Homo-oligomer: A and B are copies of this chain.
Amino acid sequence: MNEINNNSPIGVFDSGVGGLTALKELFRLLPDENTIYLGDTARVPYGIRSPETVTRYSFENVRFLASKGIKLLVVACNTASSVSLEAIRKSVSVPVIGVIEPGASEAVKSTRNKKIGVIGTEATIRSSAYKKAIEAIDGSAQVFGFSCPLFVPLVEEGWIEGEIAMMIAEKYLRKVKEKGVDTLVLGCTHYPLLKKVIAEVMGSDIRLIDSAVEATKRTAGTLKKDGIERRVKERPSREFYVTDSPERFIMVGERFLQQKIERIEKIEL
């Protein structure tokens, strides 16, 4: 293992391409940081799997990133953050940032009527991770969680606007609207790509919380607090690793990241 210092990379993992929405935020907010992104594309999606299986896969991802000498770990995957974060924290010595607590915290700041909606994968919603995190901050908040299983394949297909996306969003979000929430947490890395459709269905008075944005702010804060920001102004290194062959990841991923993916390698976990 490499010695950890300010110049060490930030490690980010996700079940696949989705975490690139978080990585994009990281590039924007912390442009000088070296990064290593791992997408477990041979076993994506995590959102339909059991907590035990998600945790097993997460440990394998973390072990790989730890071997690269990362100085901080971002668990960009909402499902892994929901079911495995505490276990991951115990298994590594570097700071670990998940997406749940930052998203929950921002939702509590945002709500006026204390009714908060959360949408995510089956596993994320089943875990009640957002609900628990929100209630830990404000016990009087009401949290309503709904899974939207078709949103991820819809985004990966690139159908992020138009009639089909609208109809699916209307069908899923009807129940959320009925609850009278004033804040909605996008509890899955893919959902920010559907922001326009979701905003149109929910109405302009509903605040949408992007957990990836909040997690990145938290990352910046932690780097500063711990004094481990990269201070070199040289061009940072941005590495990508995937567990299946990279073609599909590059094709879908460049749409998520809105830039070219250059250094990418397939690994076996």
Contacts and interface: CB of A to CB of B under 8 A. Distances in A.
Interface of A: 41-44, 48-50, 52-53, 122, 149-150, 152-154, 156-157, 159, 163-164, 167-168, 171, 244-245, 247-248
Contact of A53 (B52, B159, B167, B244): B244
B244 A49 contact: yes
20 contacts: A42-B49, A43-B43, A44-B48, A48-B248, A49-B244, A50-B244, A50-B245, A50-B248, A52-B245, A53-B244, A53-B245, A149-B153, A149-B156, A150-B150, A150-B157, A152-B153, A163-B167, A164-B164, A164-B167, A164-B171
Nearest to A152: B153
B53 A42 contact: yes
A152 B171 CA distance: 18
Nearest to A42: B53
Q: How many copies does the complex hold?
A: 2
B164 A50 contact: no
A122 B247 CA distance: 12
A69 to B, nearest CB: 28
Nearest to A123: B248
Contacts of A245: 50, 52-53
A96 to B, nearest CB: 24
A143 B167 CA distance: 33
Contacts of A49: 41-42, 244
Nearest to A268: B56
A208 to B, nearest CB: 23
A152 B112 CA distance: 40
Contacts of A163: 167
A256 to B, nearest CB: 15
A163 B163 CA distance: 11
> Lowest 10 A-B CB distances belong to which pairs?
A50-B245, A153-B153, A53-B244, A42-B53, A50-B244, A49-B244, A164-B167, A149-B157, A150-B153, A43-B43
Given A48-B248, A122-B248, A164-B164, 13 more contacts: A42-B49, A43-B43, A44-B48, A49-B244, A50-B245, A50-B247, A50-B248, A149-B153, A149-B157, A150-B150, A150-B157, A150-B159, A152-B153
